[in-house]
Structure 1
C-alpha cells in the first residue's frame, strides 16, 4: 500500500510506501525550528503511524536541502511572559522525546545540514541515524545560558561520558566524520542520497517480523 498525507500539517508531510513512513519537516524556514505546536503535531503523527499496520519503520528528515532542525523556536520562546509558559514548553519537549523513544516502531533519522540542540536531541531519540556528508551536529545550550540535562543524559547513554562532556562544555559542532567516529551517527551518505539510504534501511527494518521488533524496542528504550 502507498499513500501520501499532505494535509496533516502545513509543516509536516508524510509518505508511506513499502512499510516505511517518511515524515518530512517541511516548514518554510530552511533550518526547521520547532515550535510548541509543531512538537505536538509530530508527536501525534508518530502515535498515528505507530498504530498503522502498513508501517513497520519511520524516517524523520528535514527535507531536500534543508537542515534536520536548528532546535527550538526561540522567537516563540522570546514571547513567553511567565514561568507557566516555560514549563509548558519543557513539558512539550519531554512529551515529544518520550513519544519518539516510546512508540513500538523503530525510527530512523536522516540528518542533513544542522541538527542543533532540540533538533539533535530528537535525532538521538531515534534508533538509527544516517547523516549527510555535510551535516553538523551541535549541542550549544550551555553557551546560550540554557541547562542541558536532557541532552547530557542522552549523549552519555549513546556515546559515553567523555564525548558528552566535550560536546556540552565546548559547544562545538561535530562534522559528519567526527560524529561517525564518536558514534553519534551510524553511517554517512552523500547529501543527494541521504533520504534514499535512510529509506533503504527503514524498509529493511520494516520487513522484519513486526511482533519481534515491536516487542523489543520499548524494552530496550525503557531506561532511555
Structure 2
C-alpha cells in the first residue's frame, strides 16, 4: 500500500492511499466557504493529483462533522469595489469548475451538512456523489438576488428541467432522501461512514485500468 499525507495549505489537506486521494476542506470555519484563494488552491491541488501516477480517483469532503461547503465567501465578495473584482471572481469559479470536470481522473464528492450554491455546484461537477443522511442541498441564489446560470445549467444536465426549476425558483433545501430520489445523489450513507464509503467507491474506481477511465471521462464531460 502506498500512502502519503501532506498539508497542501492552511485550508486543504490531502491523503493518498490505495490509489485514492482524499482532499479535505480544512478551513477553520465549519461551513467551509470558498474564497478566491481557496478556489485557486483546490484547482491547483486537483491538477497536481491528476498528474500523480499513484492516484486513480479523488474524493472531496468537508471533513467529519463539517459541511461540504456553504458556498462562496460572501464576506470577501462584500469587499469588492468594482466590476473587475467581480469578473475575476467569476473567472475563478469558472476555472475551478472547468478543472474538476476536465481532469482525466474521476472525482467523488462526500457531502455532509450543507452543500449550498457554489458548494453544491462543486459537487455537481464531480462524477459520483455520496451524501450523508444529514446533508442538505440548496441552490439559493435567486432568493439572494444573484443570477444562477452555472447552477441552472448543471442541474438541468443532471436532474432534468423540472427538478432544476423547482430547486432554483423555490430556493428550498433538498434533504438526503429527496436528493437521492431526484438523482442529485448517487447514494446515501450514515454520517459516521460517509468518508469511508466514498473512499471505498474511489478505490474501486481507481483500480480500473487507468487508460480506459482516463480515455472515457474527458469525452463524457465534454458537453458538461
TM above 0.5, yes or no, is yes
Deviations 1:142-182 (A, max 9, x none): 00000000000000000000000000000000000000000
SS at match of 1:7: strand
Q: Which runs of 5+ in 2 are unaligned?
A: none
Stretch moving more, 5-14 or 49-58: 5-14
Q: State the shift of 1:186 in Å.
A: 0.1
Is the contact made by 1:6 and 1:12 (CA closer than 8 Å) also made in structure 2? no
Instruction: Work out whether residues 7 and 14 of structure 2, in 8 Å CA contact, stay in contact via their aligned partners in 1.
Output: no
Name 2:123's counterpart in structure 1.
123
1:22 Cα offset (Å): 0.1
Distance, in Å, in 2 between the alignment partners of 1:58 and 1:7 is 16
1:6 Cα offset (Å): 3.2
Q: What runs of 5+ residues in structure 1 fail to find an aligned partner?
A: none
Q: Would you say the 8 A contact 1:71–1:116 is kept in 2?
A: yes
How far apart are residue 83 of structure 1 and its match? 0.2
Instruction: State the shift of 1:3 in Å.
Output: 3.5
- Shift of residue 47 of structure 1? 0.2
The answer (yes or no) to whether the contact 2:3–2:18 under 8 Å persists in 1 is no
Q: TM-score, normalised by structure 1?
A: 0.99
Q: Secondary structure at the match of 1:6?
A: strand
For residue 216 of structure 2, give the secondary structure of its aligned residue in structure 1. helix
The Cα shift of 1:8 comes to: 1.4
How many residues are matched? 224
Backbone CA RMSD of aligned residues: 0.7
Q: Secondary structure at the match of 2:58?
A: strand
Separation in structure 2 between the aligned mates of residue 185 and residue 222 of structure 1, nearest angstrom: 21
TM-score by length of 2: 0.99
Question: Matches of 2:191 and 2:4 in 1, distance apart?
Answer: 23
